[in-house]
Amino acid sequence: MDQMDRYCVFGNPIAHSKSPDIHAAFAAQTGQQLLYEKRLAPLDGFFTAVRGFMAEGGKGANVTVPFKLEACKVAQALTMRAQAAGAVNTLHFTADGIIGDNTDGAGLVADIVDNAGTAIAGKRVLLLGAGGAARGVVLPILEHCPAKLLIANRTVATAEALVQQFAALGGAGVVSACGFADIEGEFDIVINATSASLSAELPPIPAGVFGPATLALDMMYGKEPTVFMQFAAAHGARTRDGLGMLVQQAAEAFAVWRGVRPDTAAVLAQLRAAL
């Protein structure tokens, strides 16, 4: 058998990762010959783990918690969206060195636009949180020309720093910041990029942000709807969890590495059924 191209996902912990299943499904669907595995990198040994995988002939890697910031430093060059995100979740090993990319935001936008059939253009978008997860999605959202993007965060200064960064990247007049208590009005799309759902907590937001036309999306996912999704649904919104974003960001990484864009619908349905 020919030597297959090898890819992996680095994280710590990593046992729970669904990435190998997703990429195996994409490879089977597109006729690409590749192997994709999970790799547990030591907390103080990410660089060594990446170099080791390259030395073994690896072609690229995904990066998950807690190495997305370190992955910026291991890359020789960053794509525009990785620079904007300040974090890397996809490493592409090329003849010119390691290119760092971030497919999280593109994955979220594809899930909203393609899977949920909801246009972002001209809409009022509320982004909850201003950490790494939120930072990674701002530029891809802005590229779809929303009427307004409000970043709400517990610490307003963190959200305001994001607004200043993205105003220079075409978000001037569109992006603004506030604290959770100061959110006003109803939004077309509400995205929970906080980690509150991990501890079954709800960001302290007014119920009035939701209406019957609102799409409420939580970046977290599980077998049952998150507390945020339950709250949104109780106030009339349509809800989605983060599983579609997970599959879409993987499809984007697959396209970066292989030059082929897989169809995500069947893979998403397969993952959903296995939850």
Residues flagged as binding site = 17-19, 64, 89, 104, 129-133, 219, 221, 242, 249
Binding-site annotation, residues for NADP(+): 129-133, 219, 242
Helix axes 132-142, 156-166, angle to 10 degrees: 30
CA distances from 272 to 54, 196, 243 (A): 33, 22, 8
List the Cα angle 138/46/244 in 5-degree steps.
40
List the Cα angle 262/267/119 in 5-degree steps.
70
The pair of structure tokens assigned to 178 is 């506030």
Binding-site annotation, residues for shikimate: 17-19, 64, 89, 104, 221, 249
Is residue 67 within 8 Å of 11, Cβ to Cβ? yes
Cα–Cα dist 87/194, whole Å: 16
Cα–Cα dist 19/9, whole Å: 7
Q: What is the DSSP string of 9-54?
A: EEESS-TT--HHHHHHHHHHHHT--EEEEEEE--TT-HHHHHHHHH
CA distances from 44 to 11, 56, 90, 274 (A): 12, 20, 19, 33
Catalytic-labelled residue, pool 38, 68, 148, 223: 68
Active site residue 223: no
In angstroms and rounded to an integer, the radius of gyration of the C-alpha atoms of the chain is 19
- φ/ψ of 214, rounded to 5, equals -80, 135
Catalytically active residues are: 68
